[in-house]
Amino acid sequence: MQSNSTNETHVNSAKHDDENDALAPETSFFDKPSNIKIILNVFYALCVILVALDFVVHRHIYLDFEEIPAFYAIYGFVACVVLVVLAKLMRLVLMRGEHYYDERLDEVQSVDSDATPEDSMDELGLSSQAASGDEK
């Protein structure tokens, strides 16, 4: 008799697992590391092919420095590095403090202060009646 109840428990737990599997979200194509490796390898292969084609394909150049082998690949890489460096420099100039937009009068007051919100409103020139909408 015990083995029968054990079998029923096993069947019930299997049904429960199937229900959880049905509710679980499917993993995305980009969530699988093997797919990411494939994509990166394809991109690397394309880069190598494009640089190799640069030696074979005739280009109509206008400036002498365009004759340098793999010029456009080097130019694109240098441009990308310059953009990253400029962004880091801009960050130093444009960056604000962590709570720059979050500072409010009620948060600036010290914790051990006995001031009430009504006192803060009075300091701002607002009356407690005007705030509650009881103007006469």
Give the pLDDT band of residue 136 (cuts 50, 70, 90).
very low
Q: Identify the domain containing residue 15 by its residue range.
A: 2-94
What is the domain count for the chain? 1
Which has more confidence, 7 or 78?
A: 78
30 located within any domain? yes
Q: Does any domain span residue 21?
A: yes
Local structure of residue 133 (DSSP, 8 states) = T
Q: Give the tens place of pLDDT for each residue, 63-110.
A: 888 888 888 888 999 999 999 999 999 999 888 877 777 766 555 555
Asked, for residue 103, whether it belongs to a domain, the answer is no
Cα–Cα dist 136/127, whole Å? 13
pLDDT digits (tens, 9 = 90+) for 114-124: 556 666 666 66
CA-CA distances (angstroms) from residue 113 to 46, 104, 117, 118, 120? 65, 16, 11, 13, 12
The answer to whether position 132 is within a domain reads no
User: Is 105 within the bounds of a domain?
Assistant: no
Per the domain annotation, does 117 fall within a domain?
Answer: no
DSSP per-residue string spanning 4-62: HHHHHHHHHHHHHHHHHHHHSPPPPGGGSHHHHHHHHHHHHHHHHHHHHHHHHS----S
Within a domain: 114: no
8: in domain: yes
